[in-house]
């Protein structure tokens, strides 16, 4: 499946969120990086620019590539601005918090959006169980640092539709990462090893 550029929402501008936003923007996806904390957003922007400058220094990115990435990435502390084809949450590892944020995003985005979690420990089936659109929930688990690590796990909840799983795999490949599909089990694959 060839994936056209998408609108991506990344929730949480900490180290993982900003790395996910960066690799998505570098792959020509239009990205909104959301965090309720303005200072965290500012630090994320500084961190992304630092990473891009390092990539130029190492000969892995051109100045035009940096500019394109910057123009593909916006920063927001308004959840209402997160209107996307794919949303990836990278927030605190608490089911109640993840469920609340995803519920808020479902009211803004609706049933056609894919809702992905970067969780490393919460079963996706639990996240999907209380969600308005359970077939649209999938795991997209990046490893730290997201802009460097090549491996990404894609995890299907019991409720995840085959189409959503395939689109998640296509997204991971579109950002130049190696994708492995994992079962929804504690720790998935890599964290269990």
- Return per-residue pLDDT of the chain as tens, 193 residues: 557 899 999 999 999 999 999 999 999 999 999 999 999 999 999 999 999 999 999 999 999 999 999 999 999 999 999 999 999 999 999 999 999 999 999 999 999 999 999 998 899 999 999 899 999 999 999 999 999 999 999 999 999 999 999 999 999 999 999 999 988 865 444 444 4
Token reading at 76: 């927001």
CATH at residue 24: 3.40.50.720
**What DSSP element (H or E) covers 91?**
none
Q: Strands 137-142, 151-156: parallel, antiparallel or unpaired by DSSP?
A: antiparallel
| 141 flagged as catalytic | yes
Alpha-carbon separation of residue 151 from 2, 45, 142 (angstroms): 19, 24, 7
The whole domain housing 78 covers 7-192
45 among known catalytic residues? no
Known catalytic residue at 191: yes
**What's the rounded Cα separation, in Å, for the pair 67 and 77?**
23
Decide if 111 is inside a domain. Answer: yes
Does 48 fall in a domain? yes
Omega of the bond leading into 145 within 30 degrees of 0 (cis): yes
Active site residue 120: yes
Which of the following is catalytic: 72, 117, 118, 120? Answer: 120
Flag whether 1 is in a domain.
Answer: no
């Amino acid at each position: 499946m060839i994936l056209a550029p998408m609108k991506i929402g990344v929730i949480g501008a900490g180290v993982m969120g900003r790395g996910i936003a960066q690799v998505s923007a570098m792959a020509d996806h239009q990205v909104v990086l959301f965090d309720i904390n303005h200072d965290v957003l500012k630090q994320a922007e500084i961190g992304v620019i630092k990473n891009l400058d390092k990539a130029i220094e190492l000969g892995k990115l051109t100045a035009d590539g940096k500019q394109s990435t910057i123009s593909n990435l916006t920063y927001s502390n308004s959840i209402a601005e997160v209107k996307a084809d794919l949303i990836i949450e990278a927030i605190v590892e608490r089911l109640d918090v993840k469920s609340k944020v995803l519920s808020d995003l479902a009211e803004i985005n609706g049933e056609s959006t894919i809702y992905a979690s970067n969780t490393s420990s919460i079963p996706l089936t639990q996240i999907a169980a209380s969600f308005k659109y359970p077939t649209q929930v999938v795991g997209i688990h990046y490893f730290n640092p997201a802009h460097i690590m090549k491996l990404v796990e894609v995890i299907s909840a019991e409720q995840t539709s085959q189409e959503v799983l395939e689109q998640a795999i296509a997204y991971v490949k579109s950002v130049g990462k190696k994708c492995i599909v994992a079962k929804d089990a504690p720790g998935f694959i890599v964290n269990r090893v």
